[in-house]
Amino acid sequence: MVVEADSKELARRATGLGVAPPRHVGIIMDGNGRWAAARGLPRSEGHRRGVEAVRATVRSASDLGIEVLTLFCFSSENWSRPAPEVEFLLGLLRFFIRKDLAQLNEAGVRVLVIGERNGLPGDLERLLTEAEDLTRANDALRLVIAFNYGGRDEIVRAVRHLASDAVDGLIDPARITAKDIADRLDTAGLPDPDLIIRTSGELRLSNFLLWQSAYAELIFLPIFWPDFDRAAFEGAIREYGERDRRFGGVARSA
Walk me through the domains of the chain, giving residue ranges and CATH numbers. Answer: 19-150+192-240 (3.40.1180.10)
pLDDT digits (tens, 9 = 90+) for 178-203: 999 999 999 999 999 999 999 999 99
> What does the buried/exposed string (b/e) look like for 130-140 if buried means 16 or more CB atoms within 10 Å of the residue's CB?
ebeeebeebee
pLDDT, mean of residues 131-148:
97
What confidence score (pLDDT) does residue 5 get?
Answer: 42
Euclidean distance between CA atoms 53 and 59, whole angstroms: 10
Percent of the chain with pLDDT strictly greater than 70: 91
Q: Helix H segments across the chain? A: 2-15, 32-38, 43-63, 83-106, 122-134, 151-167, 178-182, 230-242
Q: Taking a C-beta distance cutoff of 8 angstroms, is the pair 97, 131 a contact? A: yes
What confidence score (pLDDT) does residue 119 get?
Answer: 86
pLDDT at 253 over 60: no
The yes-or-no answer on residue 133 being catalytic is: no
> Is 0.85 topped by the overall pTM?
yes
Give 84: exposed, middle or buried? Use CB within 10 Å, 0-12, 13-18, 19+. exposed
What confidence score (pLDDT) does residue 1 get?
Answer: 35
Q: Taking a C-beta distance cutoff of 8 angstroms, is the pair 100, 73 a contact? A: no
pLDDT, mean of residues 126-155:
96
Euclidean distance between CA atoms 74 and 60, whole angstroms: 22
190 vs 12, 51, 148, CA distance in Å? 22, 24, 19
Which position among 63, 78, 165, 207 bears the catalytic label? 78
pLDDT digits (tens, 9 = 90+) for 29-72: 999 999 999 999 999 999 999 999 999 999 999 999 999 999 99
The yes-or-no answer on residue 186 being catalytic is: no
pLDDT at 249 over 80: no
Q: Taking a C-beta distance cutoff of 8 angstroms, is the pair 247, 73 a contact? A: no
pLDDT at 230 over 60: yes
